[in-house]
Amino acid sequence: DDEFSATALLSEESRIKNTYTDGTILCACTNKISPTQGTVSDKYNIINTRMIPMKTLMIVDGNSIINRAFYAIKALANKNGMFTNGIYGFLSILFKNMDTLNPDYIAVTFDLKAPTFRHIKYPLYKAQRKKMPTELAMQMPVLKEILHAMNITILEKEGYEADDIIGTVSRICDENGVECRIITGDKDDLQLASDTTKVMLTVTRMGKTETTEFDAAAVKEKYGVTPAEFIDVKGLMGDS
């Protein structure tokens, strides 16, 4: 299936074991609940999302964040010559947002080397983009090992970019009553900002990280356009 399902995203691989389907939260049954909250089954409390605070999913643009961390932090390396500055910066940003946002669910997206559907339609897509430096590339598999050890879900799919996955996940969250927080350094994701989806635009300079939160109103205030209209603005701006 080309679409990432909310059930798959919030599976037992997730940091938090709760899961949702079609706007319903399934919580481990520990205490009785009142009739106004829902019904009690043998295994779960089934509670309509309108009756409890919205859950929050934090999704991190893995390539965007580690790339910015790599260039912002001096070349750190261990005794074996393994560069670690990108990993160090990525984890610093991850932990900071975990503490600040206290999300119920966490996922990290990554690009893959395989061509995307855009490359197939237009072979020169990103042809001028520089290749990932070897010093950064060697850190990617190690970062993924760390995320797996932390029980954080990794989302990646051949033929699609991390941004495509983020867009799909944000829509699934919106359809299921879950707030979405996107951690990225890529302005392209501002097109996804809404009342329930907020883009935490992250900039790292000289080892210091600054994050600006954008919902739909903030995008309108900053750029004078709606998130949907920002697509055309970004097309004119390019990557510069």
Residues in a beta bridge with 108:
60, 154
Exposed e or buried b per residue across 67-86, where buried means at least 16 C-beta atoms within 10 angstroms of its C-beta: bbbbebbeeeeeeeeebbbb
Q: For residue range 169-198, what is the model confidence (pLDDT) as tens digits?
A: 999 999 999 999 999 999 999 999 999 999
Which carries the bigger pLDDT value, residue 180 or residue 121? 180
Question: How far lies 3's CA from each of 100, 155, 156, 167, 168, in Å?
Answer: 30, 12, 12, 11, 7
Q: Which of 7-16, 26-35, 167-176 has the lowest mean pLDDT?
A: 26-35
Q: For residue range 44-59, what is the model confidence (pLDDT) as tens digits?
A: 333 444 456 789 999 9
Q: For residue range 70-105, what is the model confidence (pLDDT) as tens digits?
A: 999 888 999 999 999 999 999 999 999 999 999 999
In the prediction, which pLDDT does 32 show? 31
